């Protein structure tokens, strides 16, 4: 069995073990992991035996360097060490195991996995998350988030000024023989900064013994839960200082804020006014954002013909699909719910096209461990660089409850 056959067989067994564990078939998963261990031992023993055999093949004490320099030496290459290797070390099984030991036990990752030729990072640097695990994190964040899958995602280098026309392209008509450079089109620009997102990881990872598939599944779930909430909260309410600037931190275009007086009630006319304030050019793609409690305030409303203005349909997957006046509603927990008493002035709903928000992220997440001197606990945290901004505010219509 050569090395490629060994790797193919091992990867297949690993995938089977991972699937079994994800399906809560722990005993069968443990059996598959034992098969992997047996395979590793078998390959190692075969390699040692082959190396010993090759050592006995030619036991002469005088070596003719001139003959060897003709590249005629025959043999089987078991493995190579020290040679330049372009393979991403973070994808290897060895690095994944070393990463697990770092997170669960605090064991330092060996220097052979440190790529000095890699990209320069900030001073607060940790250990890189394996690429295979990172891909699962990003995929699950996109699948589980309420808002994250809807916004525009980019990977521009932080600190660069990017024309908004590059981020959100537009098409223009030109006459025959005339290039677009001859048109007088004004374009704005946005600058993405470096904002560090730090999320603490659950202590459930800090155990002495854990199988690699179980660790990676638990690790992905913990990071996804923490990162998704932090990112989505910043997309809605971020201040722009030390964090992305949220949608509700932008200045609304004049005439696109609907006020509900303190003494007034939430009624059908509020929605009609909000829809009227949305420019026709931005009609397509705009959706409602509000909390579930606010949405339930609209449930019993009817129009002048007695027809309910709220619809809740259920798709083929059984999930509720909510709408107001035919427009999709995205529920979230990051806003203030409608307060009929008007104790404070607050935005309780808004219309916006989420593709007009750009989230720029450096997806090379890192992990750091440190000791909390006050509690003597070991804290594990995930770090990533991210920034976000609204590139076109014209699709934003806010509905505000006044306290006066």
The string of pLDDT tens digits covering residues 259-312 is 999 988 888 889 999 999 999 999 999 999 999 999 988 887 877 777 777 777
What pLDDT score does 99 carry? Answer: 72
Q: What is the mean pLDDT of residues 45-52?
A: 74
Confidence tier at 120 by pLDDT (50, 70, 90) = very low
**What are the C-alpha distances in Å from 42 to residues 36, 37, 77, 96?**
10, 9, 17, 21
Q: How confident is the model at residue 75 (pLDDT cuts 50, 70, 90)?
A: low
Question: Cα–Cα distance between 152 and 27 in angstroms, integer?
Answer: 43
Residue 7 banded pLDDT, cuts 50, 70, 90:
confident
Q: What own/partner pairs with CB < 8 Å and gap ≥ 24 does 111-119 have?
A: 113/89, 115/89, 119/364
Q: Does the structure show a pLDDT above 90 at 356? A: yes
Q: Residue 286 to residues 50, 273, 324: CA-CA distances in angstroms?
A: 66, 15, 12
More confident residue, 248 or 29: 248
Contacts (Cβ under 8 Å, ≥6 apart) of 96: 90, 130, 132, 133, 212, 216
| pLDDT tens-place string over residues 123-144 | 444 567 777 777 777 777 665 6
d(CA 123, CA 222): 25
Is 0.75 surpassed by the pTM of this model?
A: no
């Amino acid at each position: 069995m050569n090395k490629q056959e060994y790797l193919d067989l091992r990867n297949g067994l690993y995938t089977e073990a991972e699937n079994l564990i994800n399906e809560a078939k722990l005993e069968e998963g443990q059996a598959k992991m034992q098969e992997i261990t047996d395979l590793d031992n078998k390959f190692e023993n075969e390699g040692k035996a082959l190396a010993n055999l090759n050592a006995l093949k030619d036991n002469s004490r005088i070596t003719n360097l001139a003959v060897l320099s003709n590249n005629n030496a025959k043999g089987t290459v078991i493995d190579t060490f020290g040679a330049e290797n372009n393979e991403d070390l973070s994808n290897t099984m060895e690095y994944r195991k070393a990463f697990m030991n770092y997170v669960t036990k605090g064991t330092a990752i060996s220097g052979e996995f440190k790529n000095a030729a890699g990209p320069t990072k900030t001073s607060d640097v940790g250990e890189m998350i394996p690429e295979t695990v990172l891909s699962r994190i990003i995929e699950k964040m996109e699948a589980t988030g309420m808002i994250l899958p809807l916004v525009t995602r980019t990977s521009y280098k932080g600190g660069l000024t990017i024309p908004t026309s590059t981020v959100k392209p537009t098409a223009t008509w030109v006459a025959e023989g005339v290039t677009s450079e001859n048109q007088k089109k004004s374009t704005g620009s946005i600058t993405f900064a470096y904002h560090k997102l730090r999320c603490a990881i659950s202590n459930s990872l800090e155990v002495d013994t854990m199988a690699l598939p179980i660790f990676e599944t638990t690790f992905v779930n913990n990071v996804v839960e923490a990162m998704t909430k932090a990112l989505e909260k910043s997309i809605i309410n971020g201040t722009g200082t030390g964090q992305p600037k949220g949608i509700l931190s932008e200045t609304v275009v004049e005439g696109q804020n609907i006020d509900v007086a303190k003494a007034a009630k939430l009624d059908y006319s509020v929605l009609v006014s909000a829809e009227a304030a949305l420019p026709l050019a931005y009609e397509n793609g705009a959706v409602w954002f509000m909390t579930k409690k606010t949405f339930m305030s609209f449930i019993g409303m009817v129009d002048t013909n007695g027809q309910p203005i709220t619809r809740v349909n259920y798709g083929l997957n059984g999930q509720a699909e909510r709408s107001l006046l035919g427009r999709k509603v995205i529920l979230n927990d990051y806003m203030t719910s409608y307060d009929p008493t008007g104790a404070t002035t607050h935005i309780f709903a808004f219309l916006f096209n989420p593709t007009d928000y750009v989230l720029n992220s450096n997806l090379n997440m890192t992990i750091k461990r440190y000791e909390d001197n006050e509690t003597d606990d070991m804290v594990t945290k995930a770090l990533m660089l991210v920034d976000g901004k609204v590139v076109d505010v014209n699709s934003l219509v806010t509905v505000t409850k006044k306290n006066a």
